[in-house]
Amino acid sequence: MPELASRATLEQRLARDLGKLNRELADEFTAALGDPPSLDNVPPDKWDEMRTRVQGVLLGALTAMYIAAAEAQMEESGFTVDTVEVNEAAAIWARTYAASLATRFIDNTRKMTQTGIDDLLHNGLSQRDFDARIDAAFGPVRTTQIAGTETTSAISQGGLLIGAAMLARGLALKPFWETEEDDRVCPICAPLNDTEITNGSYPPAHINCRCRVTWRVPE
């Protein structure tokens, strides 16, 4: 599919909403850790609440991205899939994927925090640097990475729905990897540009991957 025209808007919206939530979570989490900080001070229901809130932000964004990508693929190919089918597929995928992402976010936050606590209590890390690590766990760099990477994930999956439907109807199309072909393309993705995807592995290939899938008749 061609580059999704609304990609930047959708990605920025997710980064904004997730960033707002993360700022709230950072304050709540820091307070829950206590002084001296300990993960034992954070009750299980607080972890569950944080996971649910992250999942909620991701769910709406991923659903919208999936549908936008499917619609763009249909417009580009002239092939139509029923709107109800697209919406149902988007809801199913986004619900499962958002839950997985939120779980990974919380698990990684827990690990990052425990490492920081160990360094604070036993390895000479200053309180200021510990606080900076907690801020980073919920900060803009991590937020931007999630928004960029998972926008690519949702776009790939929405396009794949239409691609699979075209194949099921007997169209002789194949998926091809396509990069942005600019100076930001990485050494991982550059060799993949314009190659047929035969291993079932679609973008993103790494954090902040901007690649996409096109469907065409192989030469």
pLDDT attached to residue 5: 82
Residue 1 has pLDDT above 80, yes or no: no
What is residue 43's DSSP assignment? -
Whether residue 105 is predicted with pLDDT greater than 70 in this model: the reply is: yes
pLDDT in tens, 109-135: 999 999 999 999 999 999 999 999 999
- CB burial of 98-129 (b: ≥16 within 10 Å; e: otherwise) equals bbebbeebbeebeebbeebbeebeeeebeeee
pLDDT of res. 2? 61
Which DSSP letter does residue 4 get? P
Over the stretch 146-192, which tens digit does the pLDDT of each residue have? 999 999 999 999 999 999 999 999 988 899 999 999 999 999 999 99
Cα–Cα dist 22/19, whole Å: 5
Closest CA to 94 of 125, 70, 61, 120: 61
Print burial letters for 56-95: b (CB count within 10 Å at least 16), e (below 16).
Answer: ebbbebbbbbbbbbbbbbbeebebebeeeebeebbeebbe
Per-domain residue ranges for the chain? 7-172
- Per-residue pLDDT tens digits for 39-81: 999 999 999 999 999 999 999 999 999 999 999 999 988 999 9
